[in-house]
Amino acid sequence: MSEPTELPFHSTDNNNTTMAVNIPLKVMFAAPDVDLLSPPSKHEYYTQNSNSPKPLISFGIISDIQYADNDDCWNYDKTRLRRYRNALKLVNEACSQWKKIHDETPLLFILQLGDIIDGICFQNKKSDEDLQTILEPFNQLKSDIHCQIYHHWGNHEFYNFKRDTLHSSPLCSFNTKQIYPAYYGTFEVCKHLRVISLDTYETSALGVDETSTIYQQALDMLTKHNKNEDLNSPENLRGHQKRFVLFNGGISDKQLEWLNKQLTEASKNKEKVIITGHIPIHPSACEHLCLLWNYKEVLDTLWQYDCVIAVICGHGHDGGYFRDRKNIHHLTFPAIVETDPNTNAFATAHVYPDCLLIQGVGRISTYQIDCQLENILTSS
Ligand SMILES: [Zn+2]
């Protein structure tokens, strides 16, 4: 399987649409260019024109909250402070804003992209208690505006709980009876738009018994590539190989088969698809250290179809963005836990008939993603 080759960021668009709708707006503003700014962006049209149409629906996105009732600590590289208690304050702010947005336009659900509490909760013997605390603002929002919360599972969920426990916890948002012990699912956002949520730790040595086949397979995969005593260390691994560390995982053949089936169905039903998960799947959208083990297989699968418009993940704490050669927008959300108190790191996605507008707050940019729902809606 060949390495993915990509269009450069400012390449020409082969769909006869303006590039202005396909790049993060902050980039556009940082380097204004008359060709890029004309015609006016849909973002300006939708948000600055009082007569503009309202979104069909909206939803919230947030990642790597890593709450803990614990004093702040430096991250592994000592480059960012992990502000564990501040994470709760930022989540409260996000939930208040989503509640306000719901007054204007229906906010149907929140994508919580994983690592809701930090591994340190387990060391403090406070996993259940801290989970309860951070779920409170979400539960309040749920009861105030009747929205769904779709939780994803990251490495920190598995530092605190076994996979078995998570299946019967408030963090289980999908019906997993047929696929147990895996955790993935799909739901309709609105007519012609669907979310497919992946289990990026289905092949993983985290959260499973050391006697299990899953553990053994994951360990075999890891030790084949990573010769370090500490399997969380990427020492001596280069480039994309850095992904073979214990805190990452992969997707099974069974899940890939399921993904193929879902994408075939979506294409047949003229649906556009947003893929979500904890671990990013494109090497240009995150540090290589934070990449899915079998990202190439997943990308190859997505590239067989024309329906995927975006892949939204967390895990890479500094965030990232890349538009790949099939025009799929890969968004890696920055971590709430490493966000300063005077800012934030969440987003609200607004679905319009002709685009998905992801409006970031604080560390997150605003993205316009052409999704052509208008054509689909008018032709059906
Ligand atoms: Zn993570």
Ordered DSSP codes for 134-160 = HHHHHHHHHHHH--EEEE---HHHHHH
Secondary-structure breakdown of the chain: helix, strand, coil percentages, each rounded to the nearest 5? 35, 20, 45
Taking only the tens place, the pLDDT of each residue in 78-126 is: 888 999 999 999 999 999 999 999 998 999 999 999 999 999 999 999 9
Q: Is the pLDDT of residue 129 over 60?
A: yes
pLDDT of residue 41: 62
Taking only the tens place, the pLDDT of each residue in 176-232 is: 999 999 999 999 999 999 999 999 999 999 999 999 999 999 999 999 999 999 999
Tokens at residue 122, please? 């387990």
pLDDT of residue 49: 63
Distance (Å) from CA 64 to ligand 1 centroid? 7
Distance (Å) from CA 33 to ligand 1 centroid? 37
Distance (Å) from CA 317 to ligand 1 centroid? 8
Distance (Å) from CA 190 to ligand 1 centroid? 29
> How far is Cα 153 from Cα 290, in angstroms, rounded to an integer?
15
Distance (Å) from CA 115 to ligand 1 centroid? 6
Q: Is the pLDDT of residue 29 over 70?
A: no
Distance (Å) from CA 279 to ligand 1 centroid? 7
Strands in 355-362's sheet, in edge-to-edge order, are 148-151, 107-112, 57-62, 345-351, 355-362, 367-370
Tokens at residue 27, please? 């980039």
Distance (Å) from CA 183 to ligand 1 centroid? 16
Distance (Å) from CA 160 to ligand 1 centroid? 13
Distance (Å) from CA 153 to ligand 1 centroid? 9
Q: Is the pLDDT of residue 342 over 70?
A: yes
Distance (Å) from CA 84 to ligand 1 centroid? 15
For 48-178, strand residue ranges (E) read 57-62, 73-74, 81-82, 107-112, 148-151
Rg (CA), the chain: 20
Q: For residue 24, what is the DSSP state?
A: -
Confidence of residue 13 (pLDDT cuts 50, 70, 90): very low
- Residue 59, classed as helix, strand or coil, is strand
Neighbours of 10 (CB within 10 A): 12
Domains located in the chain, CATH noted: 19-49+57-379 (3.60.21.10)
**What's the rounded mean pLDDT across residues 13-40?**
36
Distance (Å) from CA 154 to ligand 1 centroid? 5
> How far is Cα 247 from Cα 125, in angstroms, rounded to an integer?
21
Confidence of residue 2 (pLDDT cuts 50, 70, 90): very low
pLDDT of residue 32: 33
Q: What is the mean pLDDT of the chain?
A: 88
pLDDT of residue 77: 78
**What's the rounded mean pLDDT across residues 45-72?**
87
Percent of the chain with pLDDT over 90: 81
Confidence of residue 37 (pLDDT cuts 50, 70, 90): very low
Amino acid at 258: W
Answering whether pTM is above 0.85, one says yes
**What's the rounded mean pLDDT across residues 363-367?**
94
Distance (Å) from CA 47 to ligand 1 centroid? 33
> How far is Cα 324 from Cα 332, in angstroms, rounded to an integer?
14
Q: For residue 229, what is the DSSP state?
A: S
**What's the rounded mean pLDDT across residues 258-262?**
98
Taking only the tens place, the pLDDT of each residue in 268-302 is: 999 999 999 999 999 999 999 999 999 999 999 99
Neighbours of 209 (CB within 10 A): 11
> How far is Cα 96 from Cα 5, in angstroms, rounded to an integer?
42
Q: Is the pLDDT of residue 36 over 90?
A: no
pLDDT of residue 39: 43
Confidence of residue 51 (pLDDT cuts 50, 70, 90): low
**What's the rounded mean pLDDT across residues 315-344?**
96
